[in-house]
Amino acid sequence: MKRKILLVYPEIPATYWSFKYALPFADYKTLMPPLGLITIAALLPDDYDVRLVDMNIQNLTPDDITGADLVFVSAMIVQRDSFQEVVRMCNEYGTRVVAGGPYPTSSYRSIRGVDHFVLNEGEITLPQFIKDLELGRARRVYNDTTKPDITKTPPPRFDLLEMGAYESMALQSSRGCPFNCEFCDIIEMFGRVPRYKTPEQLLREMDMLYAMGYRGSLFIVDDNFIGNKPKVRELLDHIISWQKSRDYPFALFTEASINLAQDGPLMDRMRNAGFDNVFLGIETPIVETLALNHKQQNTKADMLESIRIIQAKGIEVMGGFIVGFDSDPENIFDLQIDFIEKAAIPLAMIGTLVALPNTQLYRRLEREGRIVGETDGNNTHSMELNFIPRMPRETLMEGYKRIIAAIYNPKNYFGRCAALLKRMPYSENSHSSIDGRHIKALFRSLLRQTFSKYGAHYLRFLTSVILHNPKHFPGAVAMAVKGHHLFKITDDILRVDTISAYMQSSIENLERQFETKFNTAARIRPAAIERLARRAMGNVQRIYRTLNPELKEHLRDAYYEFKLKCETIAYLWAEKAVIDDDAMFNRG
């Protein structure tokens, strides 16, 4: 009898990286598929019956769970809450849970409800688990840090995917990074010696996607694509030939280190292979901070100039930025804003420093007694720190909010987009075909964004591109649609702060009124105070209902505490009004 395996990928919350509000413009449900899980699926025995539920595109039902012998669930830290809900459902319906991936690997000691942990890299630990499972003696934890030879890793099970639901497909050519950044958990999980698949392996996986009819964006998910440059040059030569022979069906993007700018021939190869975008961990413009956090690769050359060099090759730079380092100066927030504007980076993902488990940073802060809890892995959205920063927490959070308010001000955002397009040459070596989804996205963008509160900036940007650089128009529309998501997320974050401040000030005001009435002879009508309490509660309720689910969850405890206090005050004043009226009647 075949074992029935259900693979479950938990929901990713709405963050800057999720592009939740941009994807519907082109009828996509989520950004990219769970590459780790479909790779695990390929490692399972051929006679296992395997299904996938990606909770980012479909609901997980009781029938899904009860119809499986085992539920395999993998998650990043940012998916923690959804992961825990999956485990809870499996426990409720009596189906065994097998967990792996970054979050279980770093936190398995504190996770409850999981029957078996298959940790680290699946090529090593999964066969051990399967062998013991078949013998009826499966252990609770399989934890082996041996680094596998990924030239033997089978192609992912793309057949399990609902292909049309994803904005981008994903492949991996290597694991590991040669650098030693203090805050990074990648080197802890995958090591500092990059391990590469053979070019033939990667091309076989590209062939599979091509044969399934996929065309479009393809993310090479390597921790650092250029970690071993000789290997990368060989791989790129094969990709160039493959792309040319098929008229460039894929637009490629990846992650790399900023020393890419120092290798012109390598960038030329990447552009000829169809790479048009790269994510760089820039972190901070402060050289001292980079050195203290072991990010020396960012100190070897002027970073602004390095970014311009990459952009001039026709490769857009996305950047990751962090505030909250111990050595951050008081003006770090202004310096970050200034750097991002000068660098013309539209997608500048700025977040607060997070001490991830099993990192050098976490271990150092733990020794210093500065760790105060777990992190949810969301350093751009949760407004929570899991350590005590050197800078006053209030100063750090206010500065962070000031940065996102500045860089995702629509005028500033579209200004960076325009500046970037002026720097970047147009290349024919890219996936440039326009399909029905693109046409839909254009019309939806025009209808929604033209009449938005930032419509004038939007139209000015698109008009400028049409007049001066019309070949970049499809890319400009994509930037505008992404901007819609970035503006919405920023607005949500700032609204949460506004609601929190409003709730606090309203309660303080009502409590002052309450104290004044009971401790003095002030003539304050109870009915008036009751109306104030109910009005404050109604104002917050209206705003709270419009928030996305993640922000509602973040505010939930404070919201219900505020609501209870308002209801209590309203009730007490209503009772007081009745007592006062009775007293007046008796006196009469």
Task: Name the average pLDDT for the chain.
Answer: 91
Structure tokens given for 368: 């210093």
pLDDT confidence tier of residue 166, bands split at 50, 70 and 90: very high
What pLDDT does 579 receive? Answer: 46
What is the helix (H) or strand (E) element at residue 473, kind and residue range?
A: helix 473-519
Q: Does residue 38 contact residue 97 with C-beta atoms inside 8 Å?
A: no
Q: Does residue 516 contact residue 43 with C-beta atoms inside 8 Å?
A: no
What pLDDT does 520 receive? Answer: 52
Q: For residue 74, what are the β-bridge partners?
A: 100
Q: What number is the average pLDDT over the span 176-182?
A: 96
What pLDDT does 98 receive? Answer: 98
Radius of gyration of the chain (CA): 27
Q: Does residue 266 contact residue 229 with C-beta atoms inside 8 Å?
A: yes
Q: What number is the average pLDDT over the span 64-88?
A: 97
Q: What number is the average pLDDT over the span 47-52?
A: 97
What pLDDT does 280 receive? Answer: 98
CA distance 72 to 81: 16
CA angle 209, 210, 213 (to 5 degrees): 95
Q: For the chain, how are helix, strand and coil distributed in percent, rounded to 5? A: 55, 10, 30
pLDDT confidence tier of residue 495, bands split at 50, 70 and 90: confident
Task: Say yes or no to pLDDT of 474 above 90.
Answer: yes
**What is the DSSP-derived secondary structure letter of residue 44?**
S
Q: What number is the average pLDDT over the span 516-534?
A: 63
Q: Does residue 358 contact residue 182 with C-beta atoms inside 8 Å?
A: no
Q: What number is the average pLDDT over the span 567-574?
A: 72
* 544-555 CB burial, b ≥16 within 10 A, e <16: beebeebbeebb
CA distance 37 to 53: 10
- Those residues with Cβ within 8 angstroms of residue 178's Cβ, 6 or more apart along the chain or in another chain: 192, 193, 194, 224, 227, 228
What pLDDT does 510 receive? Answer: 75
Q: Specify the residue for token string 């009502």.
A: 510
